[in-house]
Structure 1
Amino acid sequence: MQILDENEIKSKLEELEGWEYKDDAIHTSFQFENFKEAFSVMVRIAFEAEAQQHHPNWTNVYNELQISLSTHDAGGVTHKDFKLARSIEDIVDAGE
């Protein structure tokens, strides 16, 4: 898998609201009503990540979920990261 250059990454980020590129990864965060809602979304993302065989770096504190995506095997951001990011967006949007 080939890493994307910074121009490709910035172009693809225009299709995703609230995501940014830094430290060789794309990042976002979400806030939910409470811990239960945040954890519920995390479970759905986990199943999708497993299906795609691509797993996020993430942290959760109460109702906030922070996510970072990069393709570790490739050493940077690839199309796999944007595919999972779009899936994450769909999961979060479906829960609202």
Structure 2
Amino acid sequence: MDPLDDSTVNQRLDGVPQWRREGDEIRRTVEARDFPTAIRIVDEIAVEAEKLNHHPDIDIRWRTLHLALTTHDAGGLTELDFTLAARIDGIAASHA
């Protein structure tokens, strides 16, 4: 899978407005209502990540999740990152 050019990355970010670009990654923070809910969100993300064989970096701080996506094998951002970002958005919204 080839990395996306800057123009395409910027267009794709419009579809996942809670994500921001930092270099070759996109990042988002999710605030859960409590720690058990945060862990349930991580569990659901793990299921989707396995389906796509694409795994985010996740930092858990009590009820705050910091997520980062990039496609290491491609050396940058690919469609896979934006596909998983959209699925994570759906998971986060279902727990809001």
TM exceeding 0.5? yes
Bin for the TM-score computed over the shorter chain: over 0.9
* Alpha-carbon distance in 2 for matches of 1:36, 1:88: 17
CA positional deviation for 1:52: 0.8
* Alpha-carbon distance in 2 for matches of 1:6, 1:60: 29
Question: Aligned letter for 1:32?
Answer: A
List runs of 5+ in structure 1 lacking aligned partners. none
Residue equivalent to 1:27: 27
Residue equivalent to 1:68: 68
* Alpha-carbon distance in 2 for matches of 1:60, 1:70: 18
Q: How many residues align?
A: 96
Matched, 1:86 2:86: yes
* Alpha-carbon distance in 2 for matches of 1:26, 1:43: 20
Identity of aligned residues (%): 33
**Cα RMSD, aligned residues only:** 0.8
SS across alignment from 1:40: helix
Given that 2:9 and 2:77 are in contact with CA atoms closer than 8 Å, whether structure 1 keeps it comes out as: yes
- CA deviations 1:32-68 (Å, max 9, x no partner) are 1111111110000001101110000110100100100
* Alpha-carbon distance in 2 for matches of 1:67, 1:39: 13
List runs of 5+ in structure 2 lacking aligned partners. none
Given that 2:32 and 2:95 are in contact with CA atoms closer than 8 Å, whether structure 1 keeps it comes out as: no
> How high is the TM-score relative to the length of structure 1?
0.96
SS across alignment from 2:89: helix
Question: Aligned letter for 1:85?
Answer: A
Stretches (4+) displaced over 6 A: none
